[in-house]
Homo-oligomer: A and B are copies of this chain.
Amino acid sequence: MPKKSLENLTESMFYVLMALRRGPMCGIDAAAFIEEKTKGALRLGPATLYTILAKFEKEGYLREVAVDGRKRTYAITDKGEAAYQEEVCRLRRCVADADSEGRRWNEQHDAGSEVRMAVPALSGV
């Protein structure tokens, strides 16, 4: 089997693509987007950031659309968008599996008890 490009994305990679879906932007702006979007839960240092951008460009997930001095602006490609969507599906699969295990756990431990394991939803998204 020919290795199917980047099989699955890391969290950092995923959020870089999410940023670029907003529209073309430079690395710094992508990092700022990520920090804001995750409310500070994920922050990319320069090493991580530019390593990912370089790999994504080589992989064809994004392309350079403008250079202004040192500032490089990138846009996501169709291939990048596809990788992003595939990753969303993978994440949904993980959450769905966790949910089904959670339900199973509750049934297993249900002897008429009031106590349940919560299947927590995110409060205010």
Contacts and interface: CB of A to CB of B under 8 A. Distances in A.
What copy number does this chain have within its complex? Answer: 2
Nearest to A104: B22
A125 B101 CA distance: 11
A98 B91 contact: yes
A88 B98 CA distance: 7
Given A8-B11, A91-B91, A125 B99 contact: yes
Given A8-B11, A11-B8, A37 B92 contact: no
A112 B97 CA distance: 36
Contact of A91 (B15, B22, B37, B94): B94
A93 B41 contact: yes
B88 A100 contact: no
Contacts of A90: 11, 41
Given A120-B89, A125-B99, A94 B11 contact: yes
Interface in A2-20: 8, 11, 14-15, 18
Interface string A82-123: 000000111111111111110001000000000000001110
11 contacts: A11-B94, A15-B97, A18-B97, A18-B101, A21-B101, A21-B105, A38-B97, A91-B98, A92-B95, A96-B122, A96-B125
